Amino acid sequence: MITTYKEALRQAITEKIKEDKNVFMIGEDIGVYGGAFGLSIGMLDEFGPERILDTPMSEASFTGVGVGAAIMGMRPIVEIMFSDFITFGADQIINQAAKFRFMTGGQLKIPLVIRTPQGSGTGAAAQHSQNIEAWLLNIPGLKIVAPSNPYDAKGLLKSSVEDDNPVIFIEHKLLYSTKGEVPKEDYRIPIGKSKIVRSGNDVTIVATSIMVKRSLEAAEMLEKEGIEAEIIDPRTLKPLDINPIVESVKKTHRLLVVYEGCITGGIGGEIISRIGESEAFLYLDAPLFRLGGADIPIPYNLNLERKATPQIEDIVSKAKEMVGDDWYARISRDA
């Protein structure tokens, strides 16, 4: 069935709540209001106030309530209304959820999901538009998932709820209304598996979240110019499934990583480092490139906001530059 990303997420939560009495959702205004993005509209009526638990404006502590409930065998789904507000819950995520199992020598499990919408493109300015995955990428003990389409969103959310570790589940606001095929039958997408979403021989584009959609559109334009891009969606950012990327780069000899978060210290640097350390490095015909968000807070003005993150035309022109130039000849030319 053709379903929106938001509806797919909603189905995953609904089905898990029905299936497992330990699953419940907790967050701000998720009840009558249905959450800031309307994802849980109607769920309060269906499941009652205990399993769709509205909280006060207390992110630091309701995130911790999720941790405490999880160690007692519940499977809480915590909603952080905007990913930007995850800063309040940082101690509970970084110092507690991520480390509790390790610090106690494996005495407990933390089956906790923290769902949060992120990203720019809604004109909401610097405190409601950030990409936060880079903040958490170097925290061992966490898993980070960022689906790019309805099918993956549903399958990955179910897997996240069933996982015995804390999972940061990143949704993109601009994807909520996008549509895709979601089968009626029950399925899961495993955490830690990337996916080749388009095959091609000329350049490998690794794109995350909203950038998968933009890269696919860019690939259509590149095709018209005779360039075949291979697109890989990691789907899970931590742990990263690097092997399909290594294999792809060995085939295309070129790698471009596209992500929305600020370019410095982001997922792009991590992927590129791993390729630099792999045998794929020896196959390269062009430098390894990143297209990421500018190192600036997201501006309010819509034109400026657009300029702050990679757009389709940026992906097209970077891919053309990578494929079109003979980089080795350029070295001798410049020398």
Partner 1 sequence: MGEISRECEVEMLYKMMLIRRFEEQAEKLFMKNLVHGTMHLSIGEEAVPVGSIFAAEKTDYITSTHRGHGDMIAKGGDIKKMFAEFLGKETGYCHGLGGSMHIADFSLGNLGANGVVGAGIPIATGAALALKMKKRKDIVLTFFGDGAANEGTFYESLNMAAIWKLPEVFICENNMYAMSSPVSKFVATKNISDRATAFGIPGITVDGMDVVAVYETVKEAVSRARKGKGPTLIEAKTYRYRGHSKSDKNLYRTEEEIGEWKKKDPIINFVKRLKEYEGISDKEVEKIEKSVTQEIEDGVNFALNSSESSADTLLKYVYAEEGEE
User: Looking at the annotation, which residues are catalytic?
Assistant: 59, 128
* 101 touches partner 1 by CB under 8 A: yes
Q: How far apart are CA 42 and CA 265, in angstroms?
A: 40
Give the shortest CB-64-to-partner 1 separation in angstroms: 3
Give the shortest CB-116-to-partner 1 separation in angstroms: 18
Site for partner 1 in 119-148 (CB under 8 A): 140-141, 143
DSSP E strands in 208-288: the ranges are 229-233, 236-238, 255-262
Neighbours of 37 (CB within 10 A): 17
* 6 touches partner 1 by CB under 8 A: no
- Of residues 92 and 120, the one with the C-beta less far from partner 1: 92
* 108 touches partner 1 by CB under 8 A: yes
Which residues, 6 or more positions from 253, have their beta carbon under 8 angstroms from its beta carbon? 283, 284, 285, 286
CA angle 155, 156, 159 (to 5 degrees): 90
Q: Which of 5, 62, 82, 259 forms a contact with partner 1 (CB under 8 A)?
A: 62
* 165 touches partner 1 by CB under 8 A: yes
Burial of 330 (0-12, 13-18, 19+ CB in 10 A): exposed
* 164 touches partner 1 by CB under 8 A: yes
Which amino acid is located at 63 in the chain?
A: T
Residue 17 contacts residue 158 (beta carbons within 8 Å): no
- Of residues 62 and 289, the one with the C-beta less far from partner 1: 62
- Of residues 106 and 226, the one with the C-beta less far from partner 1: 106
Of 49-57, 150-158, 248-256, 260-268, which segment contacts partner 1 by CB under 8 A? 49-57
Give the shortest CB-69-to-partner 1 separation in angstroms: 4
| Sign (positive or negative) of CA dihedral 263, 235, 98, 24 | positive
Site for partner 1 in 287-306 (CB under 8 A): none
Phi and psi angles of residue 177, each rounded to the nearest 5 degrees, phi first? -95, 0
Give the shortest CB-61-to-partner 1 separation in angstroms: 4
Contacts with partner 1, 16-45, as mask; x by CB under 8 A: --------x---------------------
Q: How far apart are CA 62 and CA 255, in angstroms?
A: 41
* 60 touches partner 1 by CB under 8 A: yes
CA atoms within 13 A on the CB side of 284: 20
* 149 touches partner 1 by CB under 8 A: no
Residue reference for tokens 């931590």: 238
Give the shortest CB-91-to-partner 1 separation in angstroms: 6
Binding site for partner 1 (CB under 8 A): 24, 50, 55-56, 58, 60-74, 76, 91-92, 95-96, 100-110, 140-141, 143, 164-165
